[in-house]
Structure 1
Amino acid sequence: MKSLNWLDYFFIYSLVSIWMLLLVNIILSLSGYRYYLKTLNSELKGLKDEKYPKVSILVPAHNEEKVIGRTVKSILLLNYPKDKMELIVINDNSSDNTKKILEQIQKEYRSYNFKIINTDNITGGKGKSNALNIGYKHSSGDFIAVYDADNTPDKNALKYLIETIIEDESLGAVIGKFRTRNKDRNMLTRFINIETLSFQWMCQAGRWNLLNLCTIPGTNFIVKRNIIQKLNGWDPKAISEDTEISFRIYELGYKIKFVPYSVTWEQEPENLKVWFKQRTRWAKGNIYVLLKYFKNMFKGTSKNIIFDIFYFFSVYFLFLSSVIISDILFIVGIFSNINLHVTGNFNVLWILAYVLFVLEVSLTLTLEKGESNRKNLILVPIMYFTYCQMWMIVALKGIIQYMQDKLFKKEVEWYKTERF
């Protein structure tokens, strides 16, 4: 074998990194499948009303006139004792009709414990974390639940979360599942639906079953009040406030459990412009969390944080850089003759990696009723060459924007996802 050149090293790095993460994900997918079997016939325990603790539900809202009415009504009508539940909507410096809609609903549901907190451009308008901290200060529940302004939770979503967290003192938080309400709108929303289901069954259910580990999503979760107190609330600098607070809950020694039968429905972006903006914000926020806690890997910190830092680092740096390199080598190889000195049938490994991707995503779809259909199974093989490639642009853009924000010391602000 001839001595290896720089192209060979790029090739080997790309192949090894992609296979490494694919193997981790297939293990998580199989673990998620096992958790699915364990929770298949889960039902409510049917506790008496007096056994349920008081819950404060926080809904941060910034210019949400298109969706806030439906969200508030669905939360007020949750199957939960009304004297044990308070809903607090933080109308955070909205300039549309959000306030008017909320006040109309408040009049309509006078007998419910429903508070509206209006902020201005001085106290509010500084992002979701700041809005949640404002809402928390006005809350009185023993547990704090959070729903995004576009969510419509199932009737029993809150009860499932509560019944799980009160039976295990080691739990600091419990998260439910989120589904795509507008999944059939177009090709993009179908891809998003597949992505979110795969993530939840693979990364949330899989990690919980294997490691007793998962991270809080932005919605449909509950946290013990005393934990929020110990943490001094949400980090106002964090864009991905959900991931960031998860890490701090780990540091306190608590677990976060995934409960797939607690379901909420949310609206996803229906065009690429909105999708890119939202996903770039997520990427930038996760990079902030990764860099903030990376140093903790070497300080004997929680093993949960170590695994998640490794996983985030693999996704945002190793895996994505590897896919970029492999794409470049593939494209250049079409138009010119690349001389690789690495021996062996590596084309087979590339094909197997692609097949493995299709299999692990398809497996997670079988765990959701009605999703393992012909339309989705046709989309999964296409997904790698289209939707997944867009994530490379998102990650690169997220890294660049994070560096720009640090350089110019930009303050955190609301990153409003356009509603439809």
Structure 2
Amino acid sequence: MLDWLTGYFMGWFAVLGLSTLLFALRRGRKPGPLPEPLPRVSILIAARNEEAAIGRCLASVRALNYPAHLLEVLLGDDASTDRTRAIAEQVMHDYDGDFQCVNISDTLGFARGKANVLAHLARVATSDYYFITDADIAVPPTWIEGLLPYAQPGVGTVTGLTVVEGPRLFDRLQGLDWLISLGLVQVVSDFGVPVTAMGNNMLVTRAAYQATGGYEQLPFSVTEDYELFKAVLRQGFTFRNVFRPEVLALSLPIATVARLLHQRRRWLRGVEALPWWLQLGLVYYALFYLALALLAWTGGLALAAQVWLTKMVLQGLLAAICFRRLGRRPPLELLPVFELYTIFLTAGLGAFRALRLKFDWKGRVYK
């Protein structure tokens, strides 16, 4: 047993160490120049009962550096029962660009939920570039000119970065979790392996979107962004993931542990659609704490503590590089608590998956 565990941890640390080294050495793809003349672009935002967040989101859209007369902002009001629409119209009053609040009252084809909202908005959009974000996101002023240069011929999707930001310890742990995960995703993406796209910070070209038939023609999924991403790739388009401060969006945190588990269970549906070898790698990565418990039982607490400390050091190094690459201070003081957060999240998601519980998202329940 001890030999097996030794081999497991050697492999685990080799993968994390190599990933950290590759990320530290990466130069990334250089963006092309901005198109001349600057094109008109569409910003698509799905909203359902977002009165607490939509003002912040739209204020960040108003603050974009991109010329307002070239922006078409489309907000899809998905049967909200609160003041989402009223607040949105108030914030966007006298906006120099085009703003339209689209009432979503019917469904298109197979689309449901957010996918249905985006299907409607894509039909209304008049530009060749769809910039998609969420109501709980504040995009940076450089968002459009940060993503647009990567939408070169043949590229269907361009994905930016999103990190959670909030004052509570729980909020900061979510932020650390997001950025470490996105750093690892970037390493794989830089080798041309399509892992995922994020529907809260994504550019999709009209050509790529229409080639798929749109959301109304895609199988329903609670991870609609990944479903679209796969469909775009099947049509022969490529992708870009951009790890740069110019495209760093800020997400409001999930308020409760229960809501966080529902969010991550939804994301897990996307993970379950990944290629088998990537799924196997993620399972290998996630078994760390079970293997650590077995090591404490067979090899003693002191040896297990050394292995755990090694993990924190390596993970802290990756976190430091990720945060500093974006000009942000790495919260390394959170690493011990982050371990407890990760253990709880892993166990909670495992129970959620094993019991096949339904999950609630935006007031809608999915199996």
What interval of TM-score do these two structures reach, taking the shorter chain for normalisation? 0.7 to 0.9
From 175, 182, 198, the equivalent of 2:159 is 175
In structure 1, the partner of 2:21 is 30
- Per chain length, whose mean CA-contact separation is higher, i.e. which structure has more relative contact order (CA < 8 Å, sep 6+)? 1
Letter paired with 2:209: I
Q: Are residues 1:389 and 2:329 paired?
A: no
Structure 2 alignment gaps of length 5 or more: none
Kept after mapping to 1: 8 A contact 2:158/2:204: yes
In structure 1, the partner of 2:266 is 281
Q: Are residues 1:249 and 2:215 paired?
A: no
Change (3 A) 1:416 1:216: farther
In structure 1, the partner of 2:67 is 81
Q: Percent identity?
A: 21
Matches within 5 A, 1:14-413: 16=7, 19-35=10-26, 47=34, 51-106=37-92, 108-109=93-94, 111-120=96-105, 122-123=106-107, 126-165=112-151, 168-182=152-166, 185-204=167-186, 206-211=187-192, 213-234=194-215, 235=218, 237-259=220-242, 260=244, 261-287=246-272, 289-290=273-274, 306=275, 309-315=276-282, 317-321=283-287, 323-324=289-290, 326-327=292-293, 329=294, 333=297, 348=303, 351-352=306-307, 354-369=309-324, 371-372=328-329, 376-384=331-339, 386-400=340-354, 403=356
In structure 2, the partner of 1:302 is none
Q: Show CA shifts across 1:267-290 (max 9, x none).
A: 112432332222222224433x24
Q: Show CA shifts across 1:250-277 (max 9, x none).
A: 3333332122231211111243233222
Change (3 A) 1:126 1:15: farther
Q: Show CA shifts across 1:150-182 (max 9, x none).
A: 1111111111101221xx324221111113231
Letter paired with 1:223: V
Change (3 A) 1:154 1:23: same
In structure 2, the partner of 1:297 is none
Change (3 A) 1:404 1:276: closer
TM-score of the superposed pair, with normalisation by structure 1: 0.74
Kept after mapping to 2: 8 A contact 1:127/1:236: no
Change (3 A) 1:22 1:139: farther
Q: In structure 1, how many angstroms separate the alpha carbons of the residues matched to 2:304 and 2:289?
A: 14
Letter paired with 1:242: D
Q: In structure 2, how many angstroms separate the alpha carbons of the residues matched to 1:348 and 1:268?
A: 36
Change (3 A) 1:378 1:70: closer
Q: CA deviation at 1:349?
A: 8.0
Kept after mapping to 2: 8 A contact 1:151/1:266: yes
Q: CA deviation at 1:129?
A: 1.6
Letter paired with 2:205: K
Q: What secondary structure, in the 3-state scheme, does the structure 2 residue paired with 1:80 have?
A: coil
Deviates more, 1:124-133 or 1:233-242: 124-133
Q: CA deviation at 1:28?
A: 2.3
Q: Show CA shifts across 1:290-326 (max 9, x none).
A: 4xxxxxxxxxxxxxxx4xx4223432x4443553364
| Matched residue count | 356
Larger Rg: 1
Q: In structure 1, how many angstroms separate the alpha carbons of the residues matched to 2:220 and 2:9?
A: 32
Q: CA deviation at 1:213?
A: 4.5
Give the CA RMSD over aligned residues: 3.3
Change (3 A) 1:249 1:283: same
Letter paired with 1:390: F
Q: What secondary structure, in the 3-state scheme, does the structure 1 residue paired with 2:323 have?
A: coil
Q: In structure 2, how many angstroms separate the alpha carbons of the residues matched to 1:414 and 1:391?
A: 18
